[in-house]
Amino acid sequence: MAEEEKADFKEENQGSSGKNPLLTILILLNLVVLGGVGYFQWINFEKLSKQPSIHDVVKAEMKKMLQGEEEDSDNTGQAIEEDGILFPLDGFTANLAQGDGPRRYLRLRAVLKFGKNSSEEEFKARKPQIRDTIISIINAKRPEDLLKLEGKNFLKEEIKAAINSFLIDGNIVDVYYVSFQIN
C-alpha cells in the first residue's frame, strides 16, 4: 500500500512539474515591458543630461554681465558711474524670521538709486508697494543671514530684483543703506 501511494504521489508531481506555456509567456512579456521602461528611462536621462544646469546658466549670465561692464568702462580701466535719481525711503522696522532665540528685528533706512531714464512720479506712486516688498523680503530673513557682508549685499540684490519686477518706467540701479541695525 505504501508503494502505491508513492507511485500516485510521483505521478501527481510529474504532471505539475511540466512546463506551463502561460507562465513562460507572462515572464517574457514582463521582461519586454521592463526592457521598454528601462529604455525610456535611459532616453529621458540622456535628454536631461544635455540640458544646462542652473549653475551653468547663472555662470553664463554672470560672465555676460561682466563682459558688458568691461565694455562700459573707460580706456583707463575704471568703471563709469551711472547717473540716476536718488529716492530716499522713510526708515522702518521689520521683524526678522524667528529662529530658536528671541525675536529680532531690523531697523533700516535706505536710498534707492533709479536709472536716469526713470520717472520720479512712478516711484512716488509705488512707494507703498516698494516698502511692502522690502518688508516682506526682510521678514523672510534670519539675523544670521544679515550679519555678514555677503548677506547684506545679497539683500540689496534681492530688493533690486523684486522692485524691478513690477516697475514699468525705469529700474533700480542700486540700493544704499543709510542705517542698518539688527536688534
What is the pLDDT confidence band of residue 43, given thresholds at 50, 70 and 90?
Answer: very high
What is the pLDDT confidence band of residue 28, given thresholds at 50, 70 and 90?
Answer: very high
Taking alpha carbons only, the member of 87, 65, 97 closest to residue 163 is 87
Phi–psi pair at 24, nearest 5 degrees: -65, -40
Q: Is the pLDDT of residue 81 over 90?
A: no
Over the stretch 126-175, which tens digit does the pLDDT of each residue have?
888 989 999 898 888 888 888 888 888 899 999 999 988 888 888 888 99
Distance CA 176, CA 183 (A): 20
Instruction: Fill in the amino acid letter for 74.
Output: D
Q: Is the pLDDT of residue 35 over 90?
A: yes
Q: What is the pTM of this model?
A: 0.54
Taking alpha carbons only, the member of 138, 132, 129 closest to residue 108 is 138
pLDDT given at position 32 = 96
Of the segments 29-43, 102-116, 123-137, 146-160, which one has the largest average pLDDT value?
29-43
Taking alpha carbons only, the member of 170, 173, 93 closest to residue 134 is 93
What is the pLDDT confidence band of residue 119, given thresholds at 50, 70 and 90?
Answer: confident
pLDDT given at position 82 = 62
What is the pLDDT confidence band of residue 118, given thresholds at 50, 70 and 90?
Answer: confident
What is the pLDDT confidence band of residue 31, given thresholds at 50, 70 and 90?
Answer: very high
pLDDT given at position 65 = 80
